[in-house]
Homo-oligomer: A and B are copies of this chain.
Amino acid sequence: MSIEKEILQQIVPDETQRELVNKTVSRLIERVRNEASKIDLRLSVQLVGSVAKDTYIYPPDIDIFVMFPPEIPREEMERKGLEIGRKVLDGEEHYAEHPYVRGMVNGLKVDLVPCYNIKDTTHLKSAVDRTPFHTEYIKNNLKENQKNEVRLLKQFMKGIGVYGAEARVEGFSGYLTELLVIYYGDFKSVIEAASTEWHYGIELSLVDGRRGKFDSPLIFYDPVDLNRNVASALSVDRFALFIHASREYLREPRMEFFFPPPRQPLLLEEIEAMIERRGTSPLIVKMKKPDVIDDNLFPQIRKTLDGIGALLKKAGFEILDSAYHVNEKVFFIFELQSSALPPTDLHRGPPVWSEHSERFLSKWRSGPFGRPFIRKGRWMVLRRREFCSAKELLINRLEQASLGSEFRRLEDLKLEEGREVFTEENRKALSTLLDKRMGWEF
């Protein structure tokens, strides 16, 4: 039996699961319709998402949209949407572009989302208004025998860590996997295309017509709104990883691509030995994890990692690798070529003919490391490096770096460098940096 058949046996919902999902959905729809009709007779209720499209892997999220006539003001729509949600679900309220209610019913996660019932996507009033069109498009265009191909592709992407358009992952959305299967035909054809044809900026579309311009690794024009790139949330590294994993899988298909074994962090001794062998300098910046939702947190973490990196680089430190790790703290980990730099630095000044020349000369004319000199028409001078130690630099300048807003307070800041990073608390963070094995590699 092929690996893909084996995987399908595990991920296609069985009869019991389907029954539970269907029963849950029909009861929910009934209750939502009931509550909606009490509030406004013009409201309609619709099942959207992977359950509606029958492309889910158990357990699915159940997405129910309450559709309001466009003439109802936004504020009223949001208020009434929440009201219905609260009555049906004993859930918590969430805020994406606008509020919705999330709850658990029969062990299944349910999202109850208000949106506008628009004629077509040129009349968008909120971002979620597109979702019913997506559901409709897939129901009309995805063939019966392609549904399990979507499931395979989703599980493959989950296994290699590129599934999900949320900020934590920056990967492929469910809708994008469905479009890819429609476009290429089946799971195998998608990964074959990725292996051989995909490159940065590749453009795919299921329909002709006007198209926006996007600078993205993958551009899939949304068939229900050609001005939108369905893959806009996909980062270049997830895109690249999907290409690489597709090639590796085609070379040697293995279950582990779909279900990678759980990763064990390296032992502290392994970590020490590895860094020792490389002769590099580890540096860890730790702060308290801000209390914000993941879609806010992860962009800020990446911004902060880049900002600290830019500060280090500008001061002359060579960054070989970096990573972040999150638990109750956020860890920013850097592997530096060296955490200590020589005391002298070459400072490039303005061109000799420039108006800034005089200021440069009056500042540096009697520098301690010799006079300014001319190279390729520019003033140059040797100067004392302000910070020869990376830790010193961060102690004095971290707050001037470009940090995510939630990290600007430097709450519970801790800086560790060199051998002092080798602690149990840092083990997982250092593992993230050092252990580049993917789940399917040994």
Q: Does A146 contact B (CB under 8 A)?
A: no
Which of B199, B247, B374 touches A237 (beta carbons < 8 Å)?
Answer: B374
Tell me how far the C-beta of A148 lies from the nearest C-beta in chain B, rounded to whole angstroms. 28
A335 vs B428: C-alpha distance in the bound complex, in angstroms? 42
Q: Nearest chain B CB to A237's CB is how many angstroms away?
A: 5
Number of copies of this chain in the oligomer?
Answer: 2
A118 sits at the interface (CB 8 A): no
Q: Within 8 Å CB of A369, what residues of B?
A: 277-278
In the complex, A137 Cα to B425 Cα: how many Å?
A: 83
Q: Could you tell me if B199 and A353 are in contact, using CB atoms closer than 8 angstroms?
A: yes
Nearest B residue (CB) for A344 = B278
* Chain A positions 331 through 347: 1 when the CB is less than 8 Å from some CB of chain B, otherwise 0: 00000011001111110
CA A377 to CA B342, docked complex, whole Å: 32
CB pair A352–B279 under 8 Å, yes or no, is no
Per the CB 8 Å criterion, the residue count for chain A at the interface is: 51
Q: How far is the CA of A229 from the CA of B378 in the complex (A)?
A: 23
Mark each residue of chain A from 268 to 282: 1 if its CB lies under 8 Å from any CB of chain B, else 0: 000000100111100
| Contact call A346/B370, Cβ cutoff below 8 A | no
Contact partner of A351 (CB less than 8 A), chosen from B240, B318, B357, B373, is B240
Distance (whole angstroms) from the CB of A117 to the closest CB of chain B: 40
Q: Is the CB of A338 within 8 A of B346?
A: no
Task: For the complex, give the distance between the alpha carbons of A371 and B441 in Å.
Answer: 10
Return chain B residues, CB-CB under 8 Å to A373. 321, 436
CB <8 Å contact, B337 and A344:
yes
Could you tell me the distance between the alpha carbons of A243 and B355 in the complex, rounded to whole angstroms?
A: 12
Counting from the closest, the 8 A-B pairs by CB-CB distance are: A240-B352, A236-B377, A371-B436, A279-B343, A199-B353, A278-B344, A240-B377, A320-B346
CB distance from A93 to the nearest CB of B (A): 38
Q: Check if A353 sits within 8 Å of B243, measured CB to CB.
A: yes
A346 to chain B: closest residue by CB = B320
Cross-interface CB contact of A380 among B217, B243, B278, B321, cutoff 8 Å: B321
CA distance A370 to B240 in the complex (A): 19
Provide the bound-state CA to CA distance between A387 and B370, in Å. 30
User: Measured between alpha carbons, how far is A357 from B246 in the docked complex, in Å?
Assistant: 13
Whether B382 and A321, one on each chain, are in contact in the complex, defined by CB atoms closer than 8 angstroms, is yes
Q: Which B residue's beta carbon lies closest to that of A436?
A: B371
B376, A344: Cβ atoms under 8 Å? Answer: no
CB–CB A198/B353 < 8 A? yes
* Chain B: minimal CB distance from A204 (Å): 14
Distance of A321 Cα from B368 Cα, bound (Å): 16
For the complex, give the distance between the alpha carbons of A431 and B309 in Å.
38
In the complex, the chain B residue whose C-beta lies closest to that of A251 is: B358
A258 at the interface (CB under 8 A from B): no
Q: Which residues of B contact A345 (CB under 8 A)?
A: 320, 337
B337 adjacent to A320 (CB under 8 Å)? no
Assess whether A375 is interfacial by the CB under 8 Å rule. Answer: yes
Do B200 and A371 have beta carbons less than 8 Å apart? no
Contact with A344, one of B280, B352, B357 (Cβ below 8 angstroms): B280
- Write 25 A-B pairs (CB below 8 A) sorted by A numbering: A199-B353, A199-B354, A200-B351, A217-B377, A236-B376, A237-B374, A240-B351, A240-B353, A240-B377, A243-B352, A243-B353, A244-B352, A244-B374, A247-B357, A277-B368, A277-B369, A278-B343, A278-B344, A278-B382, A279-B342, A279-B344, A318-B346, A320-B346, A321-B346, A372-B436
Q: Separation in Å of the A99 CB from the closest CB of chain B?
A: 36
Instruction: Report the Cα distance A429→B247, complex, angstroms.
Output: 57
Contacts of A236 in B (CB 8 A): 376-377
- List the B residue with the shortest CB-CB distance to A318: B346
Q: How far is the CB of A193 from chain B (nearest CB, A)?
A: 12
Interface residues as binary, A211-247 with B (CB distance below 8 Å gives 1, 0 otherwise): 0000001000000000000000000110111011001
A310 within 8 A of B: no
Q: Decide if A437 is an interface residue (CB 8 Å cutoff).
A: yes
Chain B residues within 8 Å of A247, by CB: 357-358
The answer to whether A255 has its CB under 8 Å from any CB of chain B is: no
Contacts of A377 in B (CB 8 A): 200, 217, 236-237, 239-240
Does A434 interact with chain B (Cβ within 8 Å)?
yes
Give chain B nearest CB distance to A388 CB in angstroms.
Answer: 9
**Chain B residues in 8 Å Cβ range of A342:** 279-280, 337-338
